[in-house]
Structure 1
């Protein structure tokens, strides 16, 4: 059942977390050079694990409860990634490492939106299956 709407949402979240990080810089350093996610190892690992978690979650369509849990875990990972970005951009006083924030720092927010929509659709499917089972 790959033709469900949550597959589209999870695929979009995987594309955002795994593909757009190479196109959009996270920030510009003090020299004006753009810094991408693959320049920072911890950030790169978190983005790629978020993309892989979304892709694994797509193929867990037979086990909707596990798919829902993986979606929540992915949301938590993206919130942690967003927290790291906020910490780096706000607490580095004195030495200016991040001089200009770019669109790449907001990619986890977009990913979170698609993951929440996917979890909402998964929950709706689970409720539908439960209601049909009650009628039998």
Structure 2
């Protein structure tokens, strides 16, 4: 299970979406207050859903196709989360509420890159298994 590189990628993705939002703020407002992902139920639910999907995908290491589909679904949820952040940051007028964006807004992008790398490795494993089946 952990000897495969895609498991490492999915584990790092789960850490990025499950642990790092508690460490890195999404943005800092004008009063220098750091705003974390717990400010909105949408952010909480999407981060938790992304983490659970990554962990569930790690557990399903015997079903590569199922793992591939779960990672794609996880990427969709991360794109939705990233879309919320981009919409929120572009919809503001000037320096009304946010004075500085934090690294927490880019965590879904990091997770998407890791999930793409995991899917690439899963596809490589699947192709290897299919080639061995042809030889039998």
The TM-score normalised by the length of structure 2 is 0.95
Structure 1 equivalent of residue 32 of structure 2: 32
Question: Hey, what's the Cα distance between the residues in 2 that align with 1:31 and 1:7?
Answer: 41
CA–CA separation in structure 2 for the residues paired with 1:125 and 1:90: 41
- Determine the structure 2 residue equivalent to 1:85: 85
In the alignment, the residues of structure 2 paired with residue 95 and residue 113 of structure 1 have an alpha-carbon distance, to the nearest angstrom, of 30
1:76 paired with 2:58, answer: no
Query: Structure 2: how far apart are the matches of 1:95 and 1:40?
Result: 20
- Separation in 2 of the partners of 1:2 and 1:51? 17
TM superposition shift of 1:97: 2.1
Root-mean-square deviation over aligned CA pairs: 1.2
Structure 1: unaligned runs, 5 residues or longer: none
Question: Deviation of residue 95 (structure 1)?
Answer: 7.4
Q: How far apart are 1:127 and its partner, in Å? A: 0.5
Deviation at 1:82, TM superposition (A): 0.6
1:4 alignment partner in structure 2: 4
Work out whether residues 2 and 61 of structure 1, in 8 Å CA contact, stay in contact via their aligned partners in 2: no
**Secondary structure of 2:107's aligned partner:** helix
Range with greater deviation from structure 2 (92-101 or 78-87): 92-101
d(CA) in 2 for partners of 1:92, 1:7? 39
The answer for unaligned runs of 5 or more in structure 2 is: none
- Please name the residue that 1:23 is paired with: 23
2 CA distance for matches of 1:117 and 1:84? 24
Shift of 1:96: 1.6
Q: State the 4+ residue runs in structure 1 displaced beyond 3 angstroms.
A: none
